Amino acid sequence: MASLAQQFTGLRCPTLSSSRLSVKPNQTRKMGAFASPIVSAVAVSNPQSKDRLELKKMFEEAYERCRTAPMEGVSFTLEDFQTALEKYDFDSELGTTVKGTIFCIDANGASVDISAKSSAYLPVQEASIHRIKHVEEAGIVPGLTEEFVIIGENVADDSLILSLRAIQYELAWERCRQLQAEDVVVKGKVVDGNNGGVVALVEGLLGFVPFSQISSKSTAEELLDKELPLKFVEVDEEQSRLVFSNRKAVADSQAQLGIGSVVLGTVQSLKPFGAFIDIGGINGLLHVSQISHDRVLDIATVLQPGDTLKVMILSHDRERGRVSLSTKKLEPTPGDMIRNPTLVLRRLKRWLRHSGRESLKQKLWLVQTCLDSSLRVA
């Protein structure tokens, strides 16, 4: 035993470096019982092990803080988090208005980003109140931000179906109600017709114009693709009913002409005291004494219902809705309206061409000159 102790006393161990921290398995087996104390001594003296211990301590402290005071030192509170969730809460019920941005278009419509987990799509038929073949015709391009209405859901991929047309439809009805209240004249394009009247397009909506409310005797085929001045008669969104009158619109424009104006009229009915003339929605009276300078014994010998003729406005009582008309003031010579109505109209056309650029005062002066000349000849 003494010799063995002397042998260990004479052993000198070299300094351990960081490169010799790991011990190979075969070395451990050779060292036998002395392996564990040596490895333990190396681990305690290694600086990296100290760093690990410090990190472990730091994580333990952080864990304890998270467990006991998780919101300590954090400016974003639970209330702020709840508010953020409510801000981005998305309602996907039908009829809900959402704001979205177009990010892709194709032949069938456009994809819309509405900041929701579900994707959204705008079909081409829902992109405009007007008929279009591609969404670009309605100004739908990537980057455009608009408000849309959710009108459906695609069950296959849970995507939402959007519409711009529904919003434009409501705005169009609101606009029509406003125009009716203001009693203004609008332009309507005739797009169809039937036995009762024609169909006109106004503010993107289709409305009906009965033949009884059209000032001319034109057929539906003759009016197709033409624009008519119209006034609103009925605006009923609930019943999707829109009715116009061309006669009222024409009457409104002709009412601005004033006394002395010459307008086109149609004979509506004959009475013993005169004839009622329709001048674009207004019924004017052509008194028997104003038909010709010569005496008219029987109005039916001069005029018949349906005849079209030029008449001059003598007076216009807007409060009572009464208009007095005259044809005798347009006779080249007294009695021409009875003897030769065609001559009167021909002379009138030449006069209108000659004085087309003259003022109303000059036109009236020209008519008076013609009348004075006719009376002197008589």
At 81-132, the pLDDT tens digits run: 677 656 655 556 788 888 999 999 999 999 999 877 677 999 999 999 988 9
Q: Which helix (H) or strand (E) holds 206?
A: strand 205-210
Cβ–Cβ < 8 Å for 285, 319: no
Q: Are 123 and 155 in the same domain?
A: yes
- Answer yes or no: do 107 and 161 share one domain: yes
Q: What residues of the chain score a pLDDT lower than 70?
A: 1-45, 71, 73-74, 76, 81, 84-92, 117, 253-257, 280-281, 317-321, 331-378
Dig out the tokens for 310 from the structure.
Answer: 């030029």
**pLDDT score of 180:** 92
Do 244 and 282 have their domain in common?
Answer: no
Q: Which of 252, 273, 307 is the last residue of a domain?
A: 252
Q: How far is CA 46 from CA 33, 39, 73, in A?
A: 22, 11, 35
Residues 126 and 204 in one domain: no
Residues 240 and 280 both lie in one domain: no
In a domain, 313, yes or no: yes
- Residue 317 forms part of a structural domain: yes
DSSP tag of 32: G
Choose one of 235, 252, 269: the last residue of a domain. 252
pLDDT of residue 124: 94
Q: Which domain holds residue 233?
A: 184-252
Element (H or E) spanning 111, and its range?
A: strand 109-113
Residue whose entry in the numeric block shows the structure tokens 């056309």: 349
| Separation between Cα atoms, residue 293 and residue 336, nearest integer Å | 8
CA angle 117, 119, 122 (to 5 degrees): 150
Q: Is 292 left (phi over 0), alpha (psi -120 to 50) or beta?
A: beta
Last residue of a domain, one of 252, 285, 307: 252
Q: What DSSP designation does 301 have?
A: G
At residue 364, φ and ψ (nearest 5 deg) are: -65, -40
What is the model's pLDDT at position 252? 74
Distance, in Å, from the CA atom of 369 to the CA atom of 363, rounded to the nearest integer, reads 10
116 assigned to some structural domain: yes
Is 103 contained in some domain? yes
Give the residue from 255, 31, 170 showing the smallest Cα distance to 40.
Answer: 31
Element (H, E) at 234: strand 227-236
What residue has token string 């609103």?
232
**Domain total in the chain:** 3
Asked if 214 and 131 sit in the same domain, the reply is: no
Domain assignment of residue 128, yes or no: yes
Q: What is the pLDDT of residue 233?
A: 93
Question: Are 197 and 219 within one domain?
Answer: yes
The pLDDT value given to residue 255: 63
> Is residue 225 assigned to a domain?
yes
What pLDDT is stored for residue 339 in this prediction? 62
Question: Are 239 and 320 in a shared domain?
Answer: no
Does residue 226 sit in the same domain as residue 154? no
Domain of 225, CATH number, reads 2.40.50.140
160 and 203 both lie in a single domain: no
* 239 and 262 together in one domain: no
Residue 148 to residues 171, 172, 263: CA-CA distances in angstroms? 13, 16, 49
Cα(104)–Cα(157) distance, integer angstroms = 18
- Amino acid in position 342: T
Residue 27 falls within a domain, yes or no?
A: no
Residues 144 and 208 in one domain: no
3-class SS of residue 35: helix
What is the pairing mode between strands 227-236 and 186-193? antiparallel
Instruction: Note whether residue 294 is domain-resident.
Output: yes
Q: Measured between alpha carbons, how far is 105 from 131 in angstroms, rounded to an integer?
A: 17
